[in-house]
Amino acid sequence: MKRVLLQKWTLSLFAAVSVFGLAACGSQPSSSTPSQPASQSTPAATTEPAAPKVAGTLSFYTSQPDADAASLIDAFSKKYPDVKVDLFRSGTEEVISRLQAEAQAGQVKADVLLVADAPTFVSLKKQDLLMPYTSPEAADIPAEWKDADGAYTGTKVMATVLAVNTSKVKALPDSWKVLTSPEAANKAIMPSPLYSGAAAYNVGVFTRQPDLGWDYISGLKTNQMTVIKGNGAVLKSVAGGEKDYGMVVDYLVARAKKDGSPVEIVYPKEGVPVITEPIGIMKATKNQEAAKAFVDFVLSEEGQKLASGLGYTPIRKGVAAPEGLYAQDQIKALSANIDELEASREADKKKFGEMMGGK
């Protein structure tokens, strides 16, 4: 009996194994279709969204000198040949006056704005005229020189210094107070805050320093300080020997000295006002992609090396300052609350004009 049961169990096991083997054979691919390991299977194709084309017309408003603006546009155009850049250039105050007139008419034509100082951009931000944009290139720019919301970003570091004609002044001064001393009477010149954004910023900063203040401006008046339209005219007067001393942005003095003019830069011991010539995109821009590309280029390493080559101290970390200028970490900057500077800007300009008769 046990032998019969064993034979039946053996036959059942044999049958089961045979069925399993046939099933396994049926699942094998034919010799004409080789198998492919699962790990080597071809993934489903994915389509990356195409980057928006950077083309069209870009309207650029700036207070940069003509040659600098032209160099910037030329370099950008080589990188983006399908973008035509239209330029409007004047002093900061005139650029902003035009922009405000356009805004009031509901027809802002500018796409990108680059002018002298941050308080100007603070005002435009409050008016909701700027488009927030945090450029990926802004990561290497110190936080104190860019807006936390991306409304604007500094593009360079420009200090207002003393320019001295070395043919006429043998002992270089070390203080701003030389401009109120007898030796500088009727021998000094400065730009008008009614025209220059840098000069307007300077007045705001100087008058908020405990050891300078409005008394310092009064002393300039007493000492017959000449007030002229812009920084370029100041430098020309000092380099040409018409005046011994000038209050002017540093890069102009460095350029003139490099070209052989008898001028020297003095960074006074009290410190110097610093502007960063910010850049921002107008909210009304009709070409966002080109505007963003322009901002990215200005803040990029390539754009900052271009700025250095033009004689400016770069604002981006890791890009060297040009010969003759302090690097950003060497500058002792005079400062004041930026919101206060913006709020009091027009009142400061009016008071300066009444005191000095600036034009």
Q: What percent of the chain clears pLDDT 90, i.e. is strictly above it? A: 77
Token readout for 313 is: 């101290």
Q: Does the reported pTM lie above 0.85?
A: no
Q: In the CATH scheme, what is the code of domain 158-274+334-356?
A: 3.40.190.10
Is pLDDT at 329 greater than 50 in this prediction?
yes
pLDDT at 21: 39
> What is the rounded distance in angstroms from the CA atom of residue 311 to the CA atom of residue 255?
7
pLDDT at 107: 96
pLDDT at 19: 35
Are both 53-155+276-328 and 158-274+334-356 of the same fold?
Answer: yes
pLDDT at 154: 97
> What is the rounded distance in angstroms from the CA atom of residue 45 to the CA atom of residue 142?
42
pLDDT at 290: 98
- Residue 257, φ and ψ in degrees, nearest 5: -65, -45
Q: In the CATH scheme, what is the code of domain 53-155+276-328?
A: 3.40.190.10
Cβ-based neighbours of 264, under 8 Å, separated by 6 or more: 163, 164, 166, 172, 253, 257
pLDDT at 56: 97
Sequence spans of domains, the chain: 53-155+276-328, 158-274+334-356
> What is the rounded distance in angstroms from the CA atom of residue 158 to the CA atom of residue 274?
6
pLDDT band at 328 (very low <50, low <70, confident <90, very high): confident
pLDDT at 205: 97
Cβ-based neighbours of 126, under 8 Å, separated by 6 or more: 342
